[in-house]
Amino acid sequence: MDTDLLKTFLEVYRTRHFGKAADNLYITRSAVSFRLKQLESLLGVILFDRERNNIKPTPAGERMLAHANAVLTALERAKQDVSLIEQHSVQLSIGMGHNIWESYLKRAIQPLYKTEHGLSLRTDVITSAVMAKKMAETTLDIALSFDPFHIDGIDTITLSQVNLLLVSTQANLHISDLALSHYVKVDWGTAFNITHAQELTALPLPVLHTSSAQIAHDFIIQNKGCAFLPEVMVTEDIACGKLHRVCDVKEIRRHVYASYALTSERMNEIEKVIGLLNRIA
């Protein structure tokens, strides 16, 4: 199958407009229409309902979305693998949940790169659902997350611990003093949310929810607020007096988990990388 057909399908799905898809693909509008008709003919289904100024995917088009993405991802992976073989290299793809980079992988990536010669890495921040799907498709080698996966065929091990501290731009505060503070709630996973709901009811309503620790950090610095942030991120800020721990709130400990498909063809490389990550942690 011509991959241009799949790329055109994805662009029309994204833009819901033949003209915009044509502009983004640097082809004519008639070429977009022709490619879609070719793809529909190959598949024997209609992928889009074509009404004036209202292009929307049919149920078959909705189902085709995942398949088109999977084919293009697999093809890209194949191209990379073939080129890496000529260089005697192996590429591993690492998917991580939000905040894994700032709280954990940031300090591990350099030792990993310097130690594992002949290894090429690809890292992406993706959701848990996407990580599970990609591992099942064997297009993702290692998934790093704060919540373990419980899926047949996927093995999960504990790598490290991340300590989350409630910090504020004001010194000598207790949790009861935070009622008027600009509290930023960071998504640290399911276990954190449970602890937050059960034990931290005295915290004010968040003025901002975010999946990024860096966004939370920058926001409270600029707006004088508070947030749970990883100890490795705020150690220097605490030392220089820019941030302060809230006095009567204990650290919340989260574990980083590494998951991988037991059927992976890159098991030797996966085990080496996970072993190194364990030693770094």
pTM over 0.75, yes/no? no
How large a percentage of the chain has pLDDT more than 70? 95
Residue 88: predicted pLDDT:
44
> What average pLDDT does the chain have?
88
Q: Please write the tens of the pLDDT for every residue from 43-77.
A: 999 999 988 778 899 999 999 998 898 888 878 77
3 state SS for the chain: CCHHHHHHHHHHHHHCCHHHHHHHHCCCHHHHHHHHHHHHHHHCCCCEEEECCEEEECHHHHHHHHHHHHHHHHHHHHHHHHHHHHCCCEEEEEEECCCHHHHHHHHHHHHHHHHCCCEEEEEEECCHHHHHHHHHCCCCCEEEECCCCCCCCEEEEEEEEEEEEEEECCCCCCHHHCCCCEEEEECCCHHHHHHHHHHCCCCCCCCEEECCHHHHHHHHHHHCEEEEEEHHHHHHHHHCCCCEECCCCCCEEEEEEEEEECCCCCHHHHHHHHHHHHHHC
All structural domains of the chain = 3-74 (1.10.10.10), 76-160+255-280 (3.40.190.10), 162-254 (3.40.190.10)
Q: Please compute the mean of the pLDDT values over residues 222-251 and round it to a whole number.
A: 94
Q: Please write the tens of the pLDDT for every residue from 122-161.
A: 888 888 888 988 888 888 999 999 999 888 889 999 998 9
Residue 281: predicted pLDDT:
61
Q: Please write the tens of the pLDDT for every residue from 82-105.
A: 665 555 467 788 999 888 988 888
